Amino acid sequence: MVILAAGEGTRMRSARPKVLHSIAGRTLLQHVIAAAAAVEPAHVMVVVGHGKDEVIAHLDEVAPWVDTVVQQVRAGTGNAVRVAMDALIRGGHLTLEGSGPVIVLSGDTPLLTGETVRHLLLTHQTQAAVGTLLSAQLRDPAGYGRIVRDDAGDISAIVEDKDADLVVRAIDEINAGMYVFEVEQLLAALSQLTTDNAQGEEYLTDVLASLRERSHRLIAELVTDVDEILGVNDLVQLAQAAAIMRDRINEGWMRAGVAMIDPASVWIDVDVDLEPDVVLMPQTHLVGPTSVASGAQIGPGTTLTSCEVAADAMVRHTVAELAVIGPRATVGPFTYLRPGTRLGAGSKAGAYVEMKNADLGDGAKVPHLSYVGDATIGENSNIGAATVFVNYDGVAKHHTVVGRDVRIGSDSMLIAPVEIADGAYTAAGSVITDDVPPGAMAVGRARQRNITGWVARRRADTASAVSAHSAEEALKSTSSESGIPASKEGDQ
């Protein structure tokens, strides 16, 4: 197997090598390698060139079983295949005797499927061809090389658009640029390639002409879905390929029992795993190896990256990464779950809650407006609104432990490291710096005092002073009518 990935991709207008641009959670090159794997090739050689260091590093990470060879001078597709074949022979992976066919694919065709690669190889083998190419019928074939067939249906010629006469231009079958060759004949044809053309390059299509001249049988296999042959040469085509991939993935999941209210707004990576009866609301993005169990509802307005969502959970207007959401848990709206967050069964992370490296026990709740970082919260505990787990002292992060059935009052500050034991309470507005024993009420605030007349003395010309004066007069009038003197409690 040879995959051509040496092109510069200048039309992408990007510093990133073309084949490293991504759709549906994989790079263009990864998609092609995945399709190639369907035929279980004995060896895969990827020809790299532009951005070779980045491409090789990427392959070492995502597909360490493939080998690479550098095309030092980008001298055409024929030259690239010759460089790959030389590398395969030097490495002892290919011999003239006993080697199976060689498949040549392009690294910028992410919509190619494994089924098409299998069918292309099977057709080549069963038809006893020396060369087989993938072709497609287009409504507008302008700009593509046309496949000219003989009376037996085999390939008699491939004519480039610029060289075609009116009869050939009327042909709607084009060369998709993916091939299967017999090794011995391919090597012989490659050795005859020249650069005697306008571009000064060695063309792989010239191999086909050479084989035809030697009376070898060449056939073309029509692809069922023309989208599979679409190459990506600029960012417009990248977006078009991504949309086609999205629709393909979504249709597959819907036929498997996943409901989508607006499939056009749902984006699912290829490594996502979904169970039947999952509901995906509009503007949902599932990224990386995310899994969602039956009965869960995700969205609207939600992005989950490498998350695990258990059965019957509900996640709305949420951004989450590397988080585990337990069965029947509810999340959102406007919630941020950072890596290391685990939500137990029936738990809740509510509106405007941020959690990081935190374990929320079964039935526990953080309903709204709170930050929970580096914490363990026990079963059925409740964290009041605007509570902050103060986990960072400016140098290091520290852990907070909240036991079972604890009630944290609203606007509490829990200064880590600290432990709130089972059944304890904290008073609203408290700053908790010491451990709280089981069943205790922790109060960490000053006693309130009211300074009577402060507004009249310090803010005499404000609307507050006017309103306060009116209220005082009304209070005096009410007290006079009832015969009860106005209270002086709290005067300073």
Q: Active site residue: 368, 398, 399, 469, which one?
A: 368
**What pairing do the DSSP bridges indicate for beta strands 308-309 and 291-292?**
parallel
The number of beta carbons lying within 10 Å of the beta carbon of residue 73 is 11
Look up tokens 């005499």; give the residue: 460
Two structure tokens written together for 354: 């941020």
Nearest CA to 25 out of 234, 247, 287 is that of 287
DSSP states of 142-163 = TTSPEEEE-TTSSEEEEE-GGG
Concerning whether 31 is annotated as a catalytic residue, the answer is: no
Contact 468, 452 (CB under 8 A): no
At 210, is the secondary structure helix, strand, or coil? helix
Contact 7, 79 (CB under 8 A): no
Paired residues of 134 in beta bridges: 221
Contact 431, 437 (CB under 8 A): no
At 2, is the secondary structure helix, strand, or coil? strand
Residue 291, phi then psi, degrees to nearest 5: -125, 140
Alpha helices in 95-201 (DSSP H): 114-126, 166-169, 183-190
Measured between its terminal Cα atoms, the distance across the chain in Å is: 89
Two structure tokens written together for 314: 């509900």
Two structure tokens written together for 156: 């008699």
Residue 90, phi then psi, degrees to nearest 5: -60, -35
Nearest CA to 206 out of 47, 104, 77 is that of 77
Q: What distance in Å separates the CA atoms of residue 492 and residue 482, rounded to the nearest whole number?
A: 26
Which residues are marked as active site? 368
